[in-house]
Structure 1
Amino acid sequence: MELAHKMPNRVKGLMMVISGAAFWGLSGTAAQVLFQEKHITAEWLVVLRMMVTGISLLLVSIIKGMTPFAIWKDKKGCMDLLIFGIIGMLGVQYTYFAAIETGNAATATLLQYLAPIYIVLYSSAKERTNPSKEIWLAVLFALAGTFLLITNGSTNGLKVSFISIIWGVLSGIALAFYTLSSARLLKRWHSIIVVGWGMLIGGTCMTFFTFPFEHSQFVWGLDTLLLILFVILFGTLFAFLLFVESIRHLSPTESSLLSSVEPLSAVIASIAFLNVSFGVFQAIGGICIIFTVLILSIKKERMKDEHMMEKSS
């Protein structure tokens, strides 16, 4: 009876995390259409996406009975939040969209997915510990996957523009910083509040570099508006809320593992809807990068279990 009672919630959690990850991945493809066919700029879309999402998440937090403005009474929390919003949140948002604008959504998403490698290498260097065999294996898969992704197995030339590769790598580094810089905040404040303020802070800062109402060169139409709404609502706001809600029904590790649907959906959508050329070796490279995340997620869960056993003994 207990198993039957728990099953619906687990299925609900699975559907939420898979849907959220798929929305994230598909939003990259929608953004590629906006950049390449509608002449929308990455800067303009980043400002709009962050401002609307930030305000929406803070309103959600108020509806849920939270106190989003209380974080500003904590001086240490204020500084952490500003760093997270300006460098972490804005950094990861802009570099990701810039990678799409100069390349394609599939490659940009997969290169961003290298973030866990940067995190474990940084942690190993900071703690002055030798990486384990699993980590070295993950690094090997990441390097092989990246090489195949950007060259399709040939050394004659790159299959993706060099500037897009740079933006993609920076996106992964920014995501690593985003993850590490948010850790201390998330111990004290709900993720909806942290991400909401981070989005709003980052979006506000971005307005100093681009004017949100300057869009004379854009190709407007119903399809343009629908794509923008999809990127903001489904690809950002709903995707995040679905992921947060899924953790109530699944373990964080399960949610992280299932979020690998994000790069898969970006690749499939790019091939199906945008006719993006994706060779066999590039596909193998993408699988290697996703496998890297799986290795590191399993390693992290095992270390957590060992730590719990040590504390209980």
Structure 2
Amino acid sequence: MRVGGLGFVILAAFLWGISGGLGGFLLDMGWDPLVISFYRGAVGLVCILIWFLFQPTRLNKPLLFWSIVAGIGVAGNFIFYFVSISEGSIAVAATLMYTAPIFVLLISFIFRLEQASLFKWLAIGFVMAGVVLLTEVYSIGSDSISMLGLVTGLGAGLSYAMFIFGFKYASRHGQPQGILTIAFLFFTIITLLFIDRSEAASVFYSPDLFWMILLGIFGSGLSFFLYVAGLRRTSPTSASIVAMVEPVTASLFGLIVLSELLTVTQLGGMGIILVKVTILSLKQS
């Protein structure tokens, strides 16, 4: 059962990585990051709604509140992620997003949900050092990444942490299909307020419609279903570790399809972040 669960999580992470690559491809085609984010979430909502209709769950106020928190996290994660890709590269943006466990740790410290320790502060320090090397922040303005790309990449990680907290507390009051339906519905409403709706409507008459739909299926609908199914069969710690497949997949997509290259320094920074987050996840178990 554990192996099957890990397999579902790995497949979900692989699809998330592919969705990052598809987002990069659509950015190269000239689409706005917010429009790309909208289609990823809106198509995902349709997929998750089908799941909800087959397995309905009772709604209540705590479930609604924490699901909305998760929805805000999803909105921030998708939008910041694609903006970060547009300002740098898929590999850098995907790895910055995986600083989420560090933000979870910091939030836990602030609200006294977890006690600080030397090991945890060292983990935060190492990850920050990895971010500096990965983004080459000391030479912002070069071809590596802009300051906006750095900030939005970290914003994607913070938003991911918000989703984790929202989903965790909502799970105490309802089933995943209900939580994700509310979260993605709220996401869709939020993004509709900010996107260029005329550009979004033009997608229906564009040859890129297929890629937008595929992005939503891979990046939200099917991947979240597989991830939740995997979590039911394995531990959250194991799931968080094998989910590192996402930045690796996204990086390979950027390299092979979009010809994005990383320097030796950036590869070192990526390695520090991924290894330290993995060690932190193991320690937290």
The two structures have a TM-score, normalised by structure 2, of: 0.90
Deviations 1:201-230 (A, max 9, x none): 1111211222445358879765x2342232
Deviations 1:234-259 (A, max 9, x none): 22211111111122332222111110
Corresponding residue number in structure 2 for 1:44 = 35
Q: Give 1:122 deviation, angstroms.
A: 2.1
3-state SS of 1:123 partner: helix
Separation in structure 2 between the aligned mates of residue 17 and residue 249 of structure 1, nearest angstrom: 10
Deviations 1:165-222 (A, max 9, x none): 1111111111122222332211111222212211111111211222445358879765
Correspondent of 2:160 among 172, 175, 179: 175
Are residues 1:195 and 2:187 paired?
no
Corresponding residue number in structure 1 for 2:241 = 257
The aligned amino acid for 2:277 is: V
Correspondent of 2:65 among 76, 79, 88: 79
Gaps of 5+ in 2: none
Correspondent of 1:281 among 251, 258, 265: 265
Are residues 1:15 and 2:7 paired?
yes
Separation in structure 2 between the aligned mates of residue 196 and residue 216 of structure 1, nearest angstrom: 23
3-state SS of 1:214 partner: helix
- Once the two structures are aligned, what percentage of the paired residues are identical? 27
Pick the structure with greater CA Rg.
1
Separation in structure 1 between the aligned mates of residue 249 and residue 235 of structure 2, nearest angstrom: 22
Corresponding residue number in structure 1 for 2:53 = 62
Q: Give 1:130 deviation, angstroms.
A: 5.7
Are residues 1:232 and 2:216 paired?
yes
Q: How many residues align?
A: 284
Corresponding residue number in structure 2 for 1:305 = none
3-state SS of 2:274 partner: helix
Gaps of 5+ in 1: 1-8, 302-313
Deviations 1:109-150 (A, max 9, x none): 111111111111221232297622321231122011101101
Equivalent residues of 2:10, 2:242 under 8 A apart:
yes
Change (3 A) 1:244 1:214: same
Change (3 A) 1:250 1:84: closer
Change (3 A) 1:132 1:18: same
Map of 1:64-213 to 2, 5 A cutoff? 64=55, 66-67=56-57, 70-71=58-59, 74-85=60-71, 87-127=72-112, 131-151=116-136, 155=139, 158=142, 159-213=144-198
Change (3 A) 1:213 1:190: farther
3-state SS of 1:207 partner: helix
Change (3 A) 1:50 1:263: same
Deviations 1:12-47 (A, max 9, x none): 3333221111110111111011012x2111121222
Equivalent residues of 1:134, 1:299 under 8 A apart:
no
The two structures have a TM-score, normalised by structure 1, of: 0.82
Deviations 1:80-118 (A, max 9, x none): 333432x32212221112212222221111111111111
